[in-house]
Amino acid sequence: MKRPVRLEPGQKLVLTANRLLDGRTVWWREDGAWDLRIGYAVLLDADGAEAELSRAVEEAQREGVVGVYDTAVLPVVPPEPVTVREKIRAHGPTVHPEFAVETAQ
């Protein structure tokens, strides 16, 4: 069973996964597609996230993604993940700026 994400006041949820072919982190967009940039991720309230998560999980294999789950973010532009793990997944390794992931506004 999925562990529920604990949201602090003002936080939202985004859906994330990994592309099957290359392992890249992807983010669920409002149109139901996956994008490499967290800046295009749709921000969800806790109430609406469950339905979107179910939809994304159902379509995961057809879309070529694995490991779909939701995670908390601060609703800024672009959304900022709350946990260190998700910050690294969104922006790249912490060792050198050359390896950073491009973010969308």
Tell me which of 23-27, 55-59, 86-90, 97-101 is least confident. 97-101
Q: Is residue 81 part of a domain?
A: yes
- Does a structural domain hold residue 78? yes
Q: Does residue 4 fall inside a structural domain?
A: no
- Residue 57: predicted pLDDT: 96
pTM of the model: 0.87
What per-residue confidence (pLDDT) applies to 20?
Answer: 96
**In Å, what is the CA distance from 27 to each residue of 4, 9, 17, 75, 95?**
19, 22, 7, 15, 23
Asked whether residue 74 is domain-assigned, the answer is: yes
On whether residue 104 sits in a domain, the answer given is no
Q: Which of 39, 89, 83 is nearest to 67 (CA)?
A: 89
pLDDT > 90 in the chain, percent: 77
pLDDT confidence band for 4 (50 / 70 / 90)? low
Domain membership flag for residue 27:
yes
| 84-103 mean pLDDT | 80
Residue 35 counted as domain residue: yes
Q: How many structural domains are present in the chain? A: 1
Q: Are 68 and 14 in contact (CB under 8 A)?
A: no
The parent domain of residue 71 ranges over 12-99
